[in-house]
Amino acid sequence: MSKSKSSESVKVVVRCRPMNEKERAAKFERVVSVDVKLGQIIVRNPREASSSEHPKVFTFDSVYDWNSKQIDLYDETFRPLVDSVLFGFNGTIFAYGQTGTGKTYTMEGVRNDPERRGVIPNSFEHIFTHISRSQNQQYLVRASYLEIYQEEIRDLLSKDQSRRLELRERPDTGVYVKDLSSFVTKSVREIEHVMNVGNQNRSVGATNMNEHSSRSHAIFVITVECSELGVDGENHIRVGKLNLVDLAGSERQTKTGAQGERLKEATKINLSLSALGNVISALVDGRSSHIPYRDSKLTRLLQDSLGGNARTVMVANIGPASYNVEETLTTLRYSNRAKNIKNKPRINEDPKDALLREFQEEIARLKAQLQKRSGKKKRRRQRRRAGEGSDGEDLEEGETEDDDEDGEDRGDYWREQQEKLERERKAIMEDHSLVAEEKARLLKEKEKKMEDLKREREAGEMLAAKVKAMESKLLVGGKNIVDHTNEQQRMLELKRQEIAEQKRREREMQQQMDSRDEETLELKETYSSLQQEVDIKTKKLKKLFAKLQAVKAEIQDIQEEHINERQELEQTQNELTRDLKLKHLIIENFIPLEEKNKIVNRAYFDEEDEYWKMKPITRIEDDHQMMTRPLSAVGYRRPLSQHARMAIMMKPDMRYKAENILMLDMDLPARTTKEYQEPVIAPKVAAALEDALRDEDEIQVDASVFHSSLGPTPPASASSSLKKPKSGRPKTGKKSSTPTSPFSPSSPGSPLYPQSRGLVPK
Ligand code: ADP
Ligand code: MG
């Protein structure tokens, strides 16, 4: 068996779906024609006048029109791929195209209709039928189902749907999804159940199923392991992995005017798809040594399928109607490029991570254990028999038993033992010569023995059941999966396959002939006259000219497309730059510099996950990172002996309380208020105030002067607003002795006017 094979190209097929009701109702023009014989798709662009004369022609490995049946696709295109997976190759089937063009229809199809079942269910049938027909081979089939949405991987078969999985890489087996669940399946029904569970989970997570499915990539993975006795007398295991990928819709997300969250999501979807495009370009280009697999989860996960160890079929789905023509052309160009990817598939023989090997080893171990048990029993039995010498049976019998008899024999043995114990028990009961105590003791002993016997028996049965369960997972041809399919059906399949092969060869030949025709035509031709030569050459010139025009138009188209794409990318870039600027602005203005620096110092880029992460906060003293704690004292700052730990808890003294021995009072909060301080007052004012605050009794006013000059109006005291120093009229509180007052107190004993205050006569 040759382990390696020379490189082979990615196979690209195109499928055009029929017009749907809406399109027919709106009377859209059909712009796509399909030449199944030649493997060509011909597209007229209704927006370009010249295109009716020079339609765009794309050639593929095979093409399928709106009348194509699911089974046609399967027999011609997918069956050979699945066959090679059964043989130990890796295989991948991609469905690519705009939303609503039939990706899911091609991959899954209509579940309950055998006619319209897609590749995935058809491959189930294929795989298990193949196994049932195999001979001298052991198979193990398991399935996983995952989804990539916004660059996050979700396991569609796990119970916890909120969990996101990570990609990991191992040098020997490559990239894999960590903790992805996979289920061993024994029949078509079981694997269908796995798919249904996954599909349910897929729609549960989505608010709008249609939208969600058009924005996420779904990957169904079937791993087939096959063990077979090689020519060297050793068991060899071959492992084939089949990836069935329903990609997100390829339409431009930016065109739909997405903004905010939606835009972010769009850029992420575009990330995976455009990364896929970039990978394809880089692979086809041949000049670039770096293939940007690491740019997205999808390309990383399917790295092997693109330019690596796998056989790959890409199905490009297109719609026929005129309003989709741009997308259709984009899809066709995209897949046209993918044709040139070279893969290097090889049979995966005896890989380290084969589950089948583990199963086989486990079964062997359990069987050995079982053998040992029954061996022990047999020996015991023989010993007993020999000792008792009851029947004088042949001692050899135990050794000559074979496996089939073993079970039966074991049953006999158990029964025999039980009966014997029972007999002995009875004998003890009936034996009157024994003392009651002795009797009870013996009885107890016997009962215990019986119990032991029972337990041992159960353990043995459990072990046997376990072996059986494990063995049932390993599938062997000829029984237990599909009813023995009759020879006729098999012949039919073979014939169908032959026809498909024939068709393929025919198509290839036709393609070759066409291209050779043009080359050889001119070599063969001889011209009878000059005029004829001119005619023929003119005709040829015209033909070539048309071709030239077509190529030129194509170049222009591609350029335009590039420009569009670039504009879109620029637009996305602008959006992102704006976003970045805003974030910078916030950081600059609202986050203290030292905090920022701290965060910057803690941040690091995790190469494995391709994500920025934060180091845990550690106390950094003198630039030394804090040492990790010695393990001898988890939770303590220093190593502690068990004795010390006990002493801390039990003894009141301080001997072992090295930790947290210092009790500190709580810090009081700093004061934010001040003591009251009197305002500083100018001496003059102070004097005036003091004067004003004097007791009323001390004030003496001479009223006699008033009496004579002002009549009955009693004059207010000069120092009126005594108790109101803040009255704003401190001047009124002048000392009565000041010369400014004409009514200076002079004569003691004069009558007082104690009442009115606050008014100063003018
Ligand atoms: P996608 O997964 O690409 O978004 P779907 O597979 O959901 O598209 O197809 C959209 C609709 O078109 C579905 O209703 C499907 O049944 C129908 N359809 C797609 N391809 C075909 C086909 N070849 N024949 C008949 N119906 C089809
Ligand atoms: Mg879909």
Measure 188 CA to ligand 2 centroid, in angstroms.
Answer: 23
Structure-block tokens of residue 468: 């059986």
What is the C-alpha separation between 760 and 333, in angstroms, rounded? 107
- C-beta of residue 193 within 8 angstroms of C-beta of residue 143: no
Q: How far is the CA of 85 from the centre of ligand 2 (A)?
A: 25
Cα–Cα distance, 227 to 359 (Å, whole number): 11
Tokens of 314: 């890409």
Residue 228 and residue 184 in contact, taking contact as beta carbons nearer than 8 Å? no
pLDDT at res. 2: 42
| CB of 98 sitting under 6 A from ligand 1 | no
Query: Would you state the pLDDT for residue 106?
Result: 94
- Asked whether 42 and 32 are in contact (CB, 8 A), the reply is yes
Residue 29 structure tokens? 């023009």
- Three-class DSSP labels, 35-60: ECCCCEEEECCCCCHHHHCCCEEEEC
For residue 462, report the phi and psi dihedrals to the nearest 5 degrees: -60, -45
For residue 243, give both structure tokens: 């990836």
**Stated pTM of the model:** 0.67
Which helix (H) or strand (E) segment is 169 a member of?
Answer: strand 167-170
Ligand 1 atom closest to 68 (CA)? 23
Contacts of 735 (CB under 8 A, 6+ apart): 691, 719
Distance between CA atoms of residues 409 and 104, nearest Å: 56
Q: Which residue has the tokens 């730990």?
A: 645
In this prediction, residue 401 has a pLDDT band, given cuts at 50, 70 and 90, of very low
What tokens does 235 get? 């068991």
Q: How many whole angstroms separate alpha carbon 201 and alpha carbon 156?
A: 6
Ligand 1 pocket check for 214: Cβ under 6 Å: yes
Q: Is 199 in the pocket of ligand 1 (CB under 6 A)?
A: no
Average pLDDT, stretch 166-173? 82
Q: Which ligand is nearest to the CA of 106?
A: 1
Closest ligand to residue 103's CA: 1
Instruction: Round to whole Å and give the CA distance between 300 and 308.
Output: 12
Q: How far is CA 67 from CA 34, 55, 70, 711, in A?
A: 11, 22, 10, 132
- pLDDT per residue as tens digits for the range 542-582: 988 988 988 888 888 888 888 988 888 888 889 889 999 99
Q: Which residues are annotated as a binding site?
A: 97-104
Alpha helices, H only, 591-669: 593-602, 642-650
| Residue 402 pLDDT grade (very low, low, confident, very high; cuts 50, 70, 90) | very low
Q: Residue 2 is encoded by which pair of tokens?
A: 């040759």
Q: What is the mean pLDDT of residues 143-161?
A: 90
Query: Three-class SS of residue 430?
Result: helix
Provide the 3-class DSSP secondary structure of residue 528: coil
Q: Is 725 helix (H, G, I), strand (E, B) or coil?
A: helix
Q: Which atom of ligand 1 lies at the shortest distance from residue 105's CA? A: 6
Q: Whose CA is nearest to atom 12 of ligand 1?
A: 102
3-class DSSP assignment, residue 234: coil
The one-letter code for the residue type at 430 is E
State the closest ligand 1 atom to the C-alpha of 16, by its place in the atom list counted from 1.
Answer: 23
pLDDT confidence band for 103 (50 / 70 / 90): very high
Alpha carbon distance 512, 665 (integer Å): 94
Q: Is 96 close to ligand 1, i.e. is its CB under 6 Å away?
A: no
Residue 553 pLDDT = 83
pLDDT digits (tens, 9 = 90+) for 627-671: 555 555 566 767 777 888 788 888 777 777 766 666 566 777 788
For residue 104 and ligand 1, the question of a CB distance below 6 A is answered with yes
Distance of CA 632 to the CA centre of its chain: 38
For 8-349, give the CATH class. alpha beta
CA distance 296 to 288: 18
Ligand 2 centre distance from Cα of residue 209 (Å): 9
Average the pLDDT over 508-522 and give the result: 77
Identify which of 16, 17, 67 to mutate to test ligand 1's pocket (most ligand atoms within 8 A of the CB). Answer: 17
- Percent helix, strand and coil across the chain, each rounded to 5? 50, 15, 35
Q: Is the CB of 216 under 6 A from ligand 1?
A: no
pLDDT over 70 percentage in the chain: 74
Q: Indicate if ligand 1 lies below 6 Å from the C-beta of 102.
A: yes
* C-alpha of residue 326 to centroid of ligand 1, in Å: 19
**Greater model confidence, 535 or 706:** 535
Atom of ligand 1 nearest to the CA of 15: 23
Nearest CA to ligand 1 atom 20: 102
Q: Judge if the beta carbon of residue 126 lies within 6 A of ligand 1.
A: no
Question: Atom of ligand 1 at shortest distance to CA of 107?
Answer: 6
**HSE-CB for 271 with a 13 A CA cutoff:** 20
- Distance in angstroms (rounded) separating the CA atoms of residues 285 and 230: 41
- 100 Cβ below 6 A of ligand 1: yes
The model's confidence at residue 141, banded by pLDDT at 50, 70 and 90, is very high
Contact 58, 32 (CB under 8 A): no
Instruction: State the pLDDT at residue 403.
Output: 40
Counting ligand 1 atoms within 8 A of each CB, the residue from 94, 105, 245, 246 with the most, and so the one to mutate, is: 105
Question: Residue 70: CB within 6 Å of ligand 1?
Answer: no
Which ligand ends up closest to the CA of 95? 1
DSSP bridge pairs for 141: 185, 224
Q: What is the pLDDT of residue 194?
A: 94
Q: Are strands 137-149 and 311-318 parallel, antiparallel or unpaired?
A: unpaired
| Mean pLDDT score of the chain | 78
Distance 123 CA to ligand 1 centre (A): 19
**pLDDT score recorded for residue 715:** 45
pLDDT at site 375: 66
Q: Is 103 in the pocket of ligand 1 (CB under 6 A)?
A: yes
Give the pLDDT score at 746.
45
Please give the radius of gyration of the chain, using alpha carbons only, rounded to the nearest integer.
48
Q: What is the pLDDT, as a whole number, of residue 107?
A: 94
3-state secondary structure 330-382: HHHHHHHHHCCCEECCECCECCCCCHHHHHHHHHHHHHHHHHHHHHHHHHHHH
Higher pLDDT, 85 or 636: 85
| Residue 585 reports pLDDT greater than 90 | yes
- Name which residue sits closest to atom 11 of ligand 1, judged by CA: 100
**Model confidence over 694-750: pLDDT tens digits?**
766 665 655 555 554 444 444 444 444 444 444 444 444 444 444 444 444 444 445
Cα 523 to chain center, whole Å?
60
Residue 68 has pLDDT above 80, yes or no: yes
More confident residue, 46 or 106: 106
Looking at per-residue pLDDT, the higher value among 379 and 540 belongs to 540
148 Cα distance to chain centroid: 6
DSSP secondary structure, 445-505, as one string? HHHHHHHHHHHHHHHHHHHHHHHHHHHHHSEETTSSSS----HHHHHHHHHHHHHHHHHHH
Q: Would you state the pLDDT for residue 581? A: 95
> Cα dist. 49→55, 137, 367, 607 in Å?
10, 62, 77, 52
Task: With a cut of 90, say whether residue 364 has pLDDT above it.
Answer: no
Query: 18: Cβ below 6 Å to ligand 1?
Result: yes
Between 340 and 355, the higher pLDDT residue: 340
Mean pLDDT of 592-617: 83
Which tens digits make up the pLDDT trace of 421-449? 888 878 877 777 777 778 788 888 888 88
| CB contact set of 63 (below 8 Å; sequence gap of 6+) | 13, 14, 15, 16, 34, 35, 36, 39, 40, 41
Residue corresponding to tokens 């034996």: 431
User: What is the distance between the alpha carbons of residues 623 and 47, in angstroms, rounded to a whole number?
Assistant: 68
pLDDT range class, residue 459, cuts 50, 70, 90: confident
pLDDT tens for residues 4-61? 456 889 999 999 999 988 889 988 888 999 998 888 999 987 766 655 567 888 999 8
702 vs 715: CA distance, rounded Å: 10
372-388 tens-digit pLDDT: 776 665 555 555 555 44
Query: Could you report the per-residue pLDDT of 675-694, keeping only the tens digit for each?
Result: 888 888 888 888 888 888 87
pLDDT at residue 466, rounded to an integer: 84
Q: Quick one: which atom of ligand 1 is closest to the CA of 99?
A: 4
Would you state the pLDDT for residue 399?
36
Q: What is the pLDDT of residue 167?
A: 87
Tokens of 683: 């001496």
Q: How confident is the model at residue 127 (pLDDT cuts 50, 70, 90)?
A: very high
- Specify the 3-state DSSP secondary structure of 512: helix
Q: Which residue has the higher pLDDT, 253 or 186?
A: 186
pLDDT cut 90: percent of the chain above it: 20
CB 402 within 8 A of CB 452: no
How far away, in angstroms, is 211 Cα from ligand 2 center? 9
CB under 8 Å to 752, separation ≥6 — which residues?
700, 701, 703
Q: 176-213 burial by CB neighbour count: b if 16+ within 10 A, else e?
A: ebeebbbbbbbbbeebbebbeebbebbeeebeeeeebb
DSSP single-letter state for residue 608: T
Beta-carbon-side half-sphere exposure of residue 19 (alpha carbons within 13 Å)? 16
Binding-site annotation, residues for ATP: 97-104
Q: CA–CA separation, 611 vs 382, rounded Å? A: 68
Q: Is the CB of 99 under 6 A from ligand 1?
A: yes
The whole-number pLDDT of residue 747 equals 47
pLDDT of the residue at 446: 81
